[in-house]
Amino acid sequence: MLESESPVTPVTFPPAFLWGAATSAYQIEGAVREDGRTPSIWDTFSHTPGKTAGGDTGDIAVDHYHRYRDDVALMADLGLNAYRFSISWSRVQPTGRGPAVQRGLDFYRSLVDELLAKGIKPAVTLYHWDLPQELEDAGGWPARDTAYRFAEYAQIVGEALGDRVEQWITLNEPWCSAFLGYGSGVHAPGRTDGAAALRAAHHLNLAHGLGTVALRSVMPSRNSVAVSLNSSVVRPLSEDPADLAAVRRIDDLANGVFHGPMLRGAYPETLLSATAKVTDWSFVQDGDLRTAHQPLDALGINYYTPALVSGPERAPRGPRSDGHGVSDHSPWPGSEDVAFHQTPGERTEMGWTIDPTGLHELIMRFSREAPGVPLYITENGAAYDDKPDGDGRVHDPERIAYLHSHLAAVRRAITDGADVRGYYLWSLMDNFEWAYGYGKRFGAVYVDYATLARTPKSSALWYGRAAKSGVLPEVETL
């Protein structure tokens, strides 16, 4: 070693750290008409012309419903010790109300059994955006009754799996459900009404609280109940007062609308005043915020990229650069005039800037806002234009570099005092990427959509080495 060189200190994680991957039901399962399952809002949305790239749907997806044993074996071969998946509500409770379909529950029972047999810890997400279509027809998340239907569904699944699954997540990214589904309309059900988006956000808060109570009423006390939030790191374009005010408004709509009720039992007053022209918030009933403010056993953090905003007079030309799809309608009710800017730096295929400092910042924020609550990174990953080489191998060095930098940020947060106990890579394998169809590949495992054959990419092998050793391999390896 030359005198000018110094040894690189290995990035080492605690022995009990969970190394997992994440998926969601509609993105991977397929079998949309089998064993009693009925349409969800994503079935309806994806079958509506013009809503998804190439008219792609999740009808087959990657056929995980029939291939789950092979997929679990693949996870085990890679060395993963945790797997986060979601339940298809309409597979378990086809109308969104009433008794469960046991064939639907049996699939998840078998999946959990397979995971446990391979030494992989299951983590169940109850809701990952696929509301039963019948509940949407009855009003969807802007209707208060949907929150009560969710609690009933949570109790059904908790009774079926709570004896074997210890980690539970009520909702995944309720911001997307509310503001992309009912505000900008780029996600199912595709409605474009700012007031409805705010009502949906409140009823998702209420559903989280009611669902938490329902789960705890039927499960062993050892089980952990959490929620996964895609909270935003919102930064100002400059220190100009107008830019700082824009940060406050977007932070309230991206974060405070859920952090407030779930973590403190109140909405930020600045949020209520900024949206007063959109709604009077009369849908908030006595006791709702106490219900939403249930003690949490853990918190899930989903992170991909930061946001850069300014006051309206500094708006760039062209479509809004908030990273959430193109629409004539804004997902920011009451703050439609805030300007979003592309953050500098390298970008993924989604056009999202790669910035691991944002993940560290977000972890430390939750450590302050929810002291004593264990944290998990429940989604983090990147889409790249992955292709097999002549030998059928898929080499994705960009994803390896992405994972290394973000996992190093997680380790730095642990060193800084954050109680982070696990990381779930998004995603286990290429899949249906919502409105982007099959055009964006987030998977560590490559899927040939013509044959559905699975091939671990070099990033999967790299991540597997990290999972087995608890130490991040160098980026140059593999």
Q: If pLDDT is split at 50, 70 and 90, which confidence band does 2 have? A: very low
Give the residue-averaged pLDDT of 105-132: 98
Digit-coded pLDDT (tens) for 292-324: 999 999 999 999 999 999 998 776 666 666 888
pLDDT(1) > 50: no
Digit-coded pLDDT (tens) for 199-258: 999 999 999 999 999 999 999 999 999 999 999 999 999 999 999 999 999 999 999 999
Region of 50 (left: φ > 0; alpha: ψ -120 to 50; beta: rest) is left
pLDDT cut 70: percent of the chain above it: 96
Query: What pLDDT, on the 0 to 100 scale, is given for residue 280?
Result: 98
Query: What pLDDT, on the 0 to 100 scale, is given for residue 289?
Result: 98
Query: What pLDDT, on the 0 to 100 scale, is given for residue 322?
Result: 81
Are residues 384 and 349 in contact, defined by beta-carbon separation less than 8 angstroms? yes
Give the residue-averaged pLDDT of 345-358: 97
Residue 474 annotated to the active site: no
Query: What pLDDT, on the 0 to 100 scale, is given for residue 120?
Result: 98
Q: Which of 114, 136, 379, 433 is catalytic?
A: 379
pLDDT(371) > 70: yes
Digit-coded pLDDT (tens) for 426-461: 999 999 999 999 999 999 999 999 999 999 999 999
Query: What pLDDT, on the 0 to 100 scale, is given for residue 189?
Result: 98
pLDDT(3) > 60: no
pLDDT(7) > 60: no
Query: What pLDDT, on the 0 to 100 scale, is given for residue 51?
Result: 98
User: Taking all residues of the chain, what is their mean pLDDT, rounded to a whole number?
Assistant: 96
Query: What pLDDT, on the 0 to 100 scale, is given for residue 323?
Result: 85
Radius of gyration of the CA atoms of the chain, in A: 21
Digit-coded pLDDT (tens) for 380-408: 999 999 999 999 999 999 999 999 999 99
Query: What pLDDT, on the 0 to 100 scale, is given for residue 320?
Result: 64
Digit-coded pLDDT (tens) for 39-90: 999 999 999 999 999 999 999 999 999 999 999 999 999 999 999 999 999 9
The CA-atom distances, in angstroms, between 119 and each of 109, 115, 461 are 15, 6, 19
pLDDT(4) > 50: no
Residue 173 annotated to the active site: yes
In DSSP terms, 132 is beta-bridged to 40
Query: What pLDDT, on the 0 to 100 scale, is given for residue 213?
Result: 98
Contacts of 142 (CB under 8 A, 6+ apart): 182, 193, 196, 197, 199, 200, 203
Q: Which of 29, 114, 136, 173 is catalytic?
A: 173
Report if pTM > 0.85.
yes
Query: What pLDDT, on the 0 to 100 scale, is given for residue 319?
Result: 61
In DSSP terms, 84 is beta-bridged to 22, 123
